Chains A and B, each alone.
Chain A
Amino acid sequence: MRRYLQRTWQPERWLWAVGTALRPLLLSLLPALVFAQGAEPSSEQLEKTRQAHAECFACHSPEGFKAPPKEGLDLGKLRGLLQHPDVFGQSDHRRLACTKCHNEGYDEHPHAADARDMTSTCTDCHSKKAKVIEPQFEKSVHAQNLAGTFTCTTCHDPHLMRLAERQSDASRIVAQDNRVCLGCHDSDERFAQFAPEKKLRPPLDDIHAWLPNTRLHWRSVRCVDCHTPEVAAGEMISHEIVGGEGAQRDCVACHSTSSTLKTRLYRHLVKEEQQRLGFANSVLLANAYIPGATRHTLLDTLVLGAFAAMLLGLIAHGIGRFLTRSKRAKDGRKPPVLREAGDDTNGENHG
């Protein structure tokens, strides 16, 4: 028995076996661990990325375009391939070297002729999300009407986008996301690039004429908050963009204390909800006063109490008047008789 134990009890071997089994899992978690908030890259890494960016921005930025570092560049082509370093510096992909996605064939200049075809796609990194998004997108009005022309980057420019959950200000999320929709739907020129022939862009104000304070809504809430179907609580907003037909038209869906905005635009911010100063959905209130949704529940209770007290008081007063008048009528039109001390009979018995 002792011998057997000596032979089998080899902790380092067990640990090695467990480590080997967990290796694929650990590797798959690695990017998440690297980019997770708090896991800041070292200054050397940052410097390396900055240098990699600078190399590309030397040409592919407005400054680079103005003063190209090389003779004989095709400036006409370059003009359409510029990025703003400061905008890219705010995006979620800012810590990735350009060559992470623009990989094969971009190391040298001139770039390889087929380099563009080898650029990574979104699903190369975001495969897990893509599994959820793709079936939703397939049902969307864009996939249905414009099959083949729409990709992730048609809407999500990887050089600009920031995830909603990384932003603390709802108005910035709204501005970013609505800029994407309005980019085409508020521009005849860009709409025509995608729309089938002869399909004219419907004027946004006209088709939303039913919506009071239309432009105010567009500043306070995302197009997709109405133009996507409901998803389960805690889920990412659906990529099934619906047209006017299937869109949310029930104002009370947002304008109520149980506002659906909590699971949509404010999904990430709502975790901070603390009913500040007694306001329902006070996290919404930081960005917009939303009638129906951002009520002060205690104040409302007091107000309803005041109305109830007023009504009850008036009804009681009315009943009192009715009863005393009936009594006076019963007593007849006799002049009031002054009662004498000790007289315990009431007027009714005399009447």
Chain B
Amino acid sequence: MAEREYLVVPWIRIWHWTNAALIITLGVTGMSIHFADPALPLVDFALAVRIHNTAGVLLIGTYLFFVVANIVTGNWWQFVPKPPGILQRIVKQVLWYSIGVFRGEPHPHEPSKEEHFNALQAVTYWGVMYLLLPVILLSGLIYLYPEFAPETLFGFDGLLPVALVHYLSAVAILLFLLSHIYLGTTGKTVGQLFKMMITGWHEH
């Protein structure tokens, strides 16, 4: 019989799916704006800008909530990879994704109350949440209020570096999003990890 364990508390689940919805919305509208072309109609430009601005501001709100809630509940500790052997465990995880998973080998890490994430997850999630998100939110905020951008830079409009940083961090986040969704299917069954993020229960 499968043993069940309640791992993911409601605020994390609500935040996770709100965050997901906002990031997907921002990704789609962001692509519509960046690749705007009369021959390639994604979302109408003016509408895309409005949705993108609104969703961006909401994401700042959810991000602040995430940071504060993490501090208050102590959940931030989950994002810190714990020694000893962090690198070895990361390598082990990468090897499992590239070889072990095809051989039907068991997961090298079993989520528990003390350690939700494997070492690779902890490092990646930490980088996305505490490095990429602040960069994209801050550059987005300057984009929203361009008067805070430098006037000019090397003969170009000063908004250019802000726009480039915003774009490249968006690319990194969306590439992460693709792999994150896919790796979500590598539980014991394809749906196991998605189910856990909805119900909060992990089936061992």
Contacts and interface: CB of A to CB of B under 8 A. Distances in A.
B163 A324 contact: no
Contacts of B182: 314, 317-318
Contacts of B37: 252, 256-258, 292
B85 interface: no
A218 interface: no
Contacts of A93: none
Interface residues of B, number: 33
Interface in A288-315: 288-289, 291-296, 300, 303, 306-307, 310-311, 314
Contacts of B155: 276, 286
Taking chain B's interface residues, is the majority helix, strand, or loop, or is none over half, making it mixed?
A: helix
Interface stretch (B6-14, B73-81, B98-106, B191-199): B98-106
B102 A324 contact: yes
A310 B45 contact: no
B178 A310 contact: yes
Contacts of A303: 171
B2 interface: no
A311 B156 CA distance: 34
Given A288-B159, A310-B179, A216 B146 contact: yes
B102 A310 contact: no
A212 B146 contact: no
Given A212-B49, A251-B46, A314 B178 contact: yes
Interface of B: 33-38, 45-46, 49-50, 53, 97, 101-104, 146, 155-157, 159-160, 162-164, 171, 174-175, 178-179, 182, 185-186
13 contacts: A252-B45, A256-B38, A258-B37, A289-B160, A289-B163, A291-B34, A292-B36, A306-B175, A307-B174, A307-B178, A321-B186, A324-B102, A325-B104
Given A252-B36, A303-B171, 14 more contacts: A212-B50, A216-B146, A251-B49, A276-B156, A289-B157, A289-B159, A289-B160, A292-B35, A292-B45, A306-B175, A310-B175, A324-B102, A324-B103, A328-B104
